[in-house]
Amino acid sequence: MDNTALRQRLNSRFPEVDAVFDDHVARARTLLGADEATLLAWIDLAGWLGRLGRGVEPLLVALETLPEVLHTAGVGVLQPLRETLAALQKSPDGRALGPLLQSLPAVARRLPSGPLLARYFALVLRLAARTRLSIHGHHATEPSPCLPTLLDQAPRLVAQVPLDGLARWIDEGVRLHGRHPGHLVAWFGLEAPDSRAVLQRERHGTLLVDVERRLSLTLRGLWSDEAALVPCPVDRDGPPFRPHLEPDGFRLPEVLDARGDVSALARYRAMLAHLAAHRRWSRPLVADNLSPMQRLAIECVEDARIDQLTLRRHPGLAPVLRALHPVAPAPEAIDAAEAAGRSTLRLRLVRLSRALLDPAQRCEGADDELRGRFQALLAEGESDTRQMADLALRWVARTRRQSDQSAQVVFDATEVDWRDDNRHLWTYIEAGDEEAAFDDTHRPPRTAPDDTRLPPHLYPEWDHAIRAHRPDWVSVHDTLQPAGDARQIDALLQRHQHTARHLQRLLDALKPQDRTRLRQQEEGTELDLDAAVRALIDTRAGCTPDTRVQRSTRTDGRDFAVLLLLDLSASVNDAVPAAPGETVLSLSRAAVALLAGAVAQLGDQLAIAGFHSNTRHEVRYLHLKGFGEVWDDTPKARLAAVEGAYSTRMGAALRHAGHLLSGRRADKRLLLVLTDGQPADIDVADPAHLIADAAEAVRALDRLGLHTHCISLDARADDYVGQIFGSRWAVVDRVEQLPRRLVEVFAGLTR
């Protein structure tokens, strides 16, 4: 389906969508590949959000963020997400739709599966319901004061604690401060000391997302398997989570603790090896005619075979598996449990499993007979699942007890830590209660679409109120500036001839003048007299002479990479009173043209770009000249066509420019910013917000080793430019002098 059909399906009349729709579709096709059904589901959800009466903001956020969420967690996340959004829409917390969607990509990177995100949504709804305010005491009339704070902090929280710990932390905050809205905000904003202390208490174990890359490399290197590792929620107070196989990957617990001397990473590796071995050597059996007891016994013996084949391939796992396996219960303990009328089937299976894993474990009777047959089959080769089933059924027939029918089953110390739930081992001819509806979400294929548009880049934005970054907050759209008439730039340069002659003297001073003499060269411009005399002496003495008797010189060069970033907000269209017929933009064009010509003569690397913004959803980054382009009519034509529009969201543009400049190899990398006003945008009411964000962006560029300098045309820039750029700025009070001053500043910075 092409973009026009998708735009019609979106069914939105907001004009703000038209400017960014194609870019977001390009990004979605990149992330989702050829999965047309997921693409349509994303469009349908975004269109539904646009018709809720909440304005254009939720729709724009959904277009930006949901493709990455679907790429990470699969299309199965859309249903619980829509239910959560619908519940918030019908409640006083309808304004939380945008913050929830905005933080979702960062949350999904830490909770990359449908079940995890569904549980996270449940926590959000539960907190909202418990903390809404009521004026009359009968029903909620005011939104939750702490829900926006929780959503802001959610990426940070899910990166520190598993979901069960997060749930307990939320419950503790509501229990302690449920009647005090201000205290709730402080708790969920991590401003209260007791909040940080309780959160620290909930931090335990190793999160799968933190070791996923290492485990994936282990799986690929040792098992030649490319399966995805999908974390699933763990309830510390509920039944233990069992790993399992799914067609789209391995399901593993989201967090594991160390157990004894076995680290959490070693436990993950044991689970991974067991699942990979099952996928390689196990084959499904028909379950319809088998009793639950028979199926449990077959699973136990098949798991033992899989473990033996794994240890045959990777014997270093043996100490880990034996340390994690439960201790075999004594026969007296089994008899005592049976005398109490409890089923001891699981105890007997654990004893059998231990005997099959550890040759040193003593066993007798049916267990000893099964172990002998088991070892004989594996001595002949890999055996198979059918043979293991025959062994298990024989063992069940010999060891069946009356108490096995009891509903009181002994479960204590019977879970084998690394083994899965064996759902893959059974197939059913007739559907029944045994077949649970498991999660069947899948990750879309990563196929590159045939699309020439560049998808938007998502960047964080610094919020000085909470002193933290809002992740994936701003969309920066790369655009190649359309071409105009290059002759307009030539005409501008003709009008500024007198300035060009002045600048030529500066360029002569900047050109490399130091010459280094290179002696003993095979080829050169003149004879190296000393080397020639030594060669003559060697020749007459009968020795082989050194033929490097030439001399040459080279000039010490410059190694600069410069990116000139132009503020192209609407204010550059203003006229300059001191220069009739000129605007800030026309003088900026002339200054840039003079600088580009100067840099071309010096041989430095130069790129030119401009930017303007129309809210955080549309920051346009306009490419005028690339580092690899020559300064000729092509970039001149682009420069001639630039126009001023919209606002100045400087921090996002600085981050994107720094990202591009950081890839250049040079001794010094300079980001030169030309602006005529302070950072501002129509969706930001506090002027200090974007100033603080731009300052944080400059500090981030400093850490990357990029030198940033600002040239401001605002006479009142002293009030804010120092906050952003420190001491690296200059103000051109007389705008008509910009063509001269820009090159002079550049000369001073690169001298």
pLDDT of 169 strictly over 70: yes
* Average pLDDT over every residue of 51-74: 91
**Given this model, what pLDDT does residue 512 score?**
52
HEC string of 247-297 equals: CCEEEEECEECCECCECHHHHHHHHHHHHHHHHHHCCCEECCCCCHHHHHH
Name the β-bridge partners of 72: none
The encoded tokens of residue 740 equal 């001269």
21-26: average pLDDT: 91
pLDDT tops 60 at residue 452: no
- Amino acid identity for residue 122 in this structure: A
Name the token pair of 233. 């929620």
Q: Looking at residue 441, what is its pLDDT? A: 40
Q: Name the 3-class secondary structure at 564.
A: strand
Which letter, b or e, does each residue of 531-569 get, where b requires 16 or more Cβ atoms within 10 Å of its Cβ? beeebeeeeeeeeebeeebbbeeeeeebebbbbbbbbbb
Please, what is the Cα angle at 624 between 621 and 625, to 5 degrees? 120
Q: Mind listing the pLDDT tens digit for each residue in 494-520?
A: 887 777 776 766 666 555 544 566 778
Quote the CA–CA distance of 548 and 563 in Å, as a whole number: 42
**Amino acid letter for position 598:** A
Contact 733, 744 (CB under 8 A): no
Place of tokens 């254009």: 56
Checking if the pLDDT of 456 tops 90, the result is: no
Instruction: Pinpoint the alpha helices (H) of 523-619.
Output: 529-540, 584-602
Render pLDDT for 416-429 as a digit per residue (tens, 0 to 9): 989 999 999 998 87
The strands making up 228-232's β-sheet, listed across from edge to edge, are 228-232, 249-253, 244-246
pLDDT reported for residue 696 = 95
Alpha-carbon span 600 to 578, nearest angstrom: 30
Mean pLDDT for the stretch of residues 219-244: 83
> What's the mean per-residue pLDDT of the chain?
87
Residue 693 has pLDDT above 90, yes or no: yes
Q: Is 161 helix (H, G, I), strand (E, B) or coil?
A: coil
Instruction: Report, as an integer, the average pLDDT of 272-286.
Output: 93
**How far is Cα 59 from Cα 97, in angstroms, rounded to an integer?**
10
Alpha-carbon Rg for the chain in angstroms: 35
pLDDT digits (tens, 9 = 90+) for 733-744: 888 888 888 888
| Predicted pLDDT at 127 | 94
Query: How would residue 430 be classed by pLDDT, with cut points 50, 70 and 90?
Result: low
